[in-house]
Amino acid sequence: MAEVWNGPLRKLDDWRWIIPREYKKGMLVEGIIYASERMIQAIRKDQAPEQVANVACLPGIVGRSMAMPDIHWGYGFPIGGVAGTDVEEGGVISPGGVGFDINCGVRLLKTQLTEDDVKPYLEKLVTVLFRNIPSGVGSEGKISFSLQDLKKAMVEGAQFVIKKGFGFPHDGEYIEERGALRGADPEMVSAKAMERGKDQVGTLGSGNHFLEIEVVERVFRPDIAAVFGLFSRQVLIMIHTGSRGFGHQICTDYLEKMQSAMGRYGIKVPDRQLSCASFDSPEGQAYFAAMACAANFAWANRQLITHWVRESFEEVFGRSAHHLGIEVLYDVAHNIAKIEEHVVEGKKRKLCVHRKGATRAFGAGEEGVPEVYRQVGQPVLIPGDMGTGSYILVGTELAMQETFGSTCHGAGRMMSRSEADRVSRGRDIPSELLRKGILVIAESKATLREEIPEAYKDVGEVVKVVEEAGISKRVIYARPIAVIKG
């Protein structure tokens, strides 16, 4: 059993808990954890708060070392961690602040279909989707990219596959960074990473990745829902996947390079998993360029899956995806580092914002929000576990002031995969979910055991924290009616 963390926490209000700078030698800023009183007791049960304090020691960090309510132990950074470093004042970039599955993220598709439209066809629809979208460990895509095409996808992201005919021309308007993070350089990517990635574009993968058919159950803010094109009992499709083995290999490659670079630059951190280098150093620039390639790979991946989804609906319903209204609502990353300008202590600063298991939540009027949503703010996509459903929220001005425009990314694990597998042995997970009205299909029964609903925090409680703290606001809740897992 994990050791309980007994460090100091000062309650700022009902939703914010401060780790003071005095707690640990080397902390340059405070730590802050967003959580309810009940959640903070569970959060203390592992060493994730210690990781919040460790991140506060990174050279160039400004503001606070932050953790969202879905916080749990991760590599270097906690999952749910957010940190901004001032790149013009020696701020570092750390692969541990992004994670292994670079640009693991969520895309939400909306339709003009209702639950009544889909229910009679649901079993057939799930079978066709499962056939058309490769999933599972080591899954390979339906198309194989040449090395030249793979390099183009690394630079152009979703835009590359849209131009090849896999998507609507306007899909890119509704993707963070329009689906292509600038600064990508394929020359900074190893041959091994390219080999791992070339056959995985357009694949769901395994673990907590999924494709889910959902129904809008509750509308909290009808005015904003209308701007997003959402309505009660509407059918949505949520896609959760990332850069697969490609991003994992890039992270692995650069962790080694950063660890040796720290010695050369005299950088000291309390945990070697926080290996880093100044953003402006050759190593920092190389990692960012490679990470951007992986981020763009992930957006290309989700774009291809979107295409397979549209084709599947067309096959089942006998109508075009245009006629069915299958449009991208939004696509957001939750494992990424980005260069953004934010006001810190009254001064606009150029930051490298690390979001690891955290998602962007830009408020109304921000340039990074698609023009059609700019009057209300950015859609925030928060999946729960496969038994409880998901929330769509909207970013806020307070998030821009307090969290570099960031919020939680999901429910957050409470059990390790091995523990979840152990406690669910002998159970029939598909039958349990079917009794709740959720049809589930998976490549592996082991994945279903590892992803049981009780392995995760209550996504409703997580969302309540970020709403009460004012860093994002609920727009709708959608319940699952079908889930595809790897």
> Could you tell me which residues come within 8 angstroms of residue 145 by beta carbon, excluding any fewer than 6 positions away?
153, 198, 199, 201
Q: What is the distance of C-alpha 97 from the center of its chain? A: 13
Cα separation of 265 and 86, whole Å? 17
User: Catalytic residue positions?
Assistant: 409
Task: Decide: residue 4, CB within 10 A, 0-12 exposed, 13-18 middle, 19+ buried.
Answer: exposed
Find out whether 332 and 382 touch, Cβ atoms under 8 Å. Answer: no
Helix and strand numbers, DSSP H then E, in the chain: 16, 19
Residue closest to 416 by CA, chosen among 116, 56, 46? 46
Cα separation of 303 and 308, whole Å? 9
Which DSSP category does 146 fall into? -
Cα separation of 93 and 328, whole Å? 31
Which DSSP category does 4 fall into? P
Which residue has tokens 């996504």?
459
Task: Decide: residue 192, CB within 10 A, 0-12 exposed, 13-18 middle, 19+ buried.
Answer: middle
Q: What is the distance of C-alpha 188 from the center of its chain? A: 24
Tell me phi and psi for residue 391, to 5 degrees. Answer: -120, 145
